[in-house]
Amino acid sequence: MRVTNHMLVETAARALTALRSRMARAQEQVATGNAITRPSDGPARTVTALDLGSARRRVEQADAGAAEALNWLSVSEQQITRMIDMLQAAREAALVTGGPGARDPVSREGVAQTVEQARAAALHAANTRYRGVYLFAGFRTDTAPFAPDAAAYLGDEGVARQEVVPGQRLPVRLPGSRLLGGGNFFQALEGLAADIRSGAPVAGRLEELDRALEHLSSLRTEIGVRLQQVDEYADMNRKADIDLQDRLARATGTELERAVTELAEIENAYRAALGAAGRALPASLMDFLR
């Protein structure tokens, strides 16, 4: 095949252009650490990257939710424990009235006051506001669930839920009505104080308190179980996040050693092409004629 000057020039120019664009690409990969900077670099890998990125953000959100859940559940558990403690204290104080030192009105008044203080503390616990939210009011989080006479529950039956793992929402607060599942112990305590003052028998009231205590205990256990669940989910989230991070890096990242080696190879090829062009192009017959 005849080779003309133009062909030699074209060959050199095209080779250099092609090498330069390969060099630019290799440089970009090494500098950014990304093998995929636009969808056409790897269409399937791009979609995978989008998928994994979304999954990660979702897990992050669920993890934040799990932290919130732990918060609400812990505080609820604390307040229920408080109520249990108060009921126990009232019960013990009331037992005294069956004994020898409790016949006179003065000591009976003392016990009655202890019981009333326990009731107030328990009511305070039931009306706890945490971060601006009434814990035991259902969805009516801006109104106290129990009035001072605690005759009825003023909140609603809404159960607040929190997503703790993608796709799973768990209850994190109880409506106040559930506190009264073993009976309205506020009224029982009020009645107990009155009975103690009047000297009436208290056995019935103590039984009411027992039923309430049993119920509150089982509520506390329920919350305890849920706390454990959330802990496990939080752990799952952490593991999932690490796994997703790893997969994302593999889908879109460059292996640095390979990329650097490739860049060096291309640079060498470019230099060689320059040298070849330098030798082939200038020579012509003119140089050798007189």
Give the residue with the Cβ less far from another protein, 22 or 197: 22
By the criterion CB under 8 A, which residues form the site for another protein? 1-7, 10, 14, 36, 38-44, 46-47, 49-51, 53-54, 57-58, 60-62, 64-65, 68-69, 131-133, 137-142, 156, 158, 160-163, 167, 169, 172, 252, 284-286, 289
Tell me how far, at minimum, the Cβ of 4 lies from another protein, in Å. 3
Show contacts of 16-25: CB within 8 Å, 24+ apart: 16/270, 16/273, 16/274, 16/277, 19/266, 19/269, 19/270, 19/273, 20/270, 22/266, 23/263, 23/266, 23/267, 23/270
CA–CA gap between residue 81 and residue 216 (Å, rounded): 8
Q: Are 263 and 26 in contact (CB under 8 A)?
A: yes
Q: How far is Cα 10 from Cα 4, in angstroms, rounded to an integer?
A: 10
For the bound state, the minimum distance from the C-beta of residue 181 to another protein, rounded and expressed in Å, comes to 21
Least CB distance to another protein at residue 32 (A): 11
- Would you call 222 helix, strand, or coil by DSSP? helix
Q: In this complex, which beta carbon is closest to another protein, that of residue 76 or of residue 141?
A: 141
To the nearest whole angstrom, how small is the minimum distance from the Cβ of residue 50 to another protein? 5
Shortest reach from residue 284's CB to another protein, in Å: 5
CA neighbor of 136 nearest in space, from 190, 185, 77: 77
By C-beta, is 51 or 241 nearer to another protein?
51
For another protein, which is the closer residue by CB, 96 or 276? 276
Give whichever of 64 and 194 is closer to another protein, judged by the CB atom.
64
